């Protein structure tokens, strides 16, 4: 089985609300291995690189609102690694619109802004997190945010204590 890597970005609303520890704990409790982390502010150039296709997909107003939101404070970028980690992270995060996210997901439990409110006020949805949506997107985003030296290979407890089929 191939291991995947994915990017998770705790957005300015998650950082400002003091949810970093809670959010990272959710991933770790689910057995997701975190292999790199860094806090930074996103300037306009970096925001454009990260959201390079957002304007094309959703229009200039959505891009402008998202860019302004992402630049209002620091973010924490994290790389996770594991089998099916992209799908698993997205499952834990919940749907894009917090008011539609299931209870038990990060967005369902901590973010409650609706799409209608965001659209009515020309705001980006304050939904706490970004999580890569595909293998190709994850590869691009991890390489954009992290150098190889920023990422760590270490045995997770589950790997360290797992019994292989040859040991049975």
Q: Per residue in 78-99, pLDDT tens?
A: 999 999 999 999 999 999 999 9
pLDDT tops 60 at residue 163: no
The reported pTM is: 0.90
Q: What φ, ψ does residue 68 adopt, rounded to 5°?
A: -60, -45
Q: How far apart are CA 64 and CA 122, in angstroms?
A: 9
Highest mean pLDDT among 118-132, 136-150, 152-166: 136-150
pLDDT at 71: 97
Residues 6 or more apart from 40 whose CB is under 8 A from it?
46, 74, 75, 77
Per-residue pLDDT, averaged over 20-27, amounts to 98
Q: How far apart are CA 108 and CA 89, in angstroms?
A: 14
Q: How far apart are CA 23 and CA 19, in angstroms?
A: 6
Please give the domain boundaries of the chain with CATH numbers for all domains. Answer: 4-162 (3.30.70.141)
**Residues acting as catalytic residues:** 130
Q: How far apart are CA 119 and CA 31, in angstroms?
A: 36
CA-wise closest residue to 70 among 46, 93, 53, 86: 46
């Amino acid at each position: 089985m191939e291991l995947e890597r994915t990017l998770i970005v705790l957005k300015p609303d998650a950082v400002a609300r003091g949810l970093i520890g809670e959010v990272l704990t959710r991933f770790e409790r689910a057995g997701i291995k975190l292999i790199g982390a860094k806090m930074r502010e996103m300037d306009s150039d970096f925001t454009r690189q990260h959201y390079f296709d957002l304007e094309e997909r959703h229009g200039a107003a959505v891009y402008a609102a998202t860019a302004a939101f992402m630049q209002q404070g620091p973010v924490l970028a994290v790389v996770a690694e594991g089998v099916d980690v992209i799908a698993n992270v997205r499952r834990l995060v919940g749907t894009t619109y917090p008011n539609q996210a299931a209870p038990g997901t990060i967005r369902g439990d901590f973010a409650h802004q609706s799409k209608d409110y965001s659209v009515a006020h020309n705001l980006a949805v304050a939904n706490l997190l970004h999580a890569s949506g595909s293998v190709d997107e994850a590869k691009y985003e991890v390489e954009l945010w992290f150098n190889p030296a920023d990422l760590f290979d270490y045995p997770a407890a589950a790997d360290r204590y797992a019994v292989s089929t040859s040991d049975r």
